[in-house]
Amino acid sequence: MAVNGLIGGHLLRQRLIELQVPAATLSAIREGHRQGKTIENLDPLISDRMIEDSGIVVAGTPAECLAQLDEVLRLAKPYRFDIVDMASPLGPDWAEAIDIICQDILPELQRHSRDYVEN
């Protein structure tokens, strides 16, 4: 998603560039894309730390995801944001990821929903 964002030029790109993506990384991604390399080929150019620092992508174990979502939703509360978009890639096993979201993450978020809603 980050590689695609750096190629495509949308909100994720703007957020990643704010994190000062190294010029060499951005150049390598653009050049690789120009040469027809796939996102999967370019993915290793983006570090996990860069993704974590972006604050846009939530990933990890269910507990790690819940902690990250809790922070995002608490920060969003004063601005009345009430949507969390589940995007791909989920995985590595897509069906398993959906099950984890439905069984472990969403019920816990629902239990704490009052904490995230502006009254």
- Over residues 6-62, the pLDDT tens digits come to 777 666 666 666 666 778 888 898 899 999 998 889 888 887 777 767 666 777 888
Other beta carbons within 10 Å of 100: 16
Half-sphere exposure of 26 (CA within 13 A, CB side): 14
Which residues, 6 or more positions from 109, have their beta carbon under 8 angstroms from its beta carbon?
Answer: 66, 69, 73, 84, 116
pLDDT of residue 32: 93
CB atoms closer than 10 angstroms to residue 29: 23
pTM listed for this prediction:
0.57
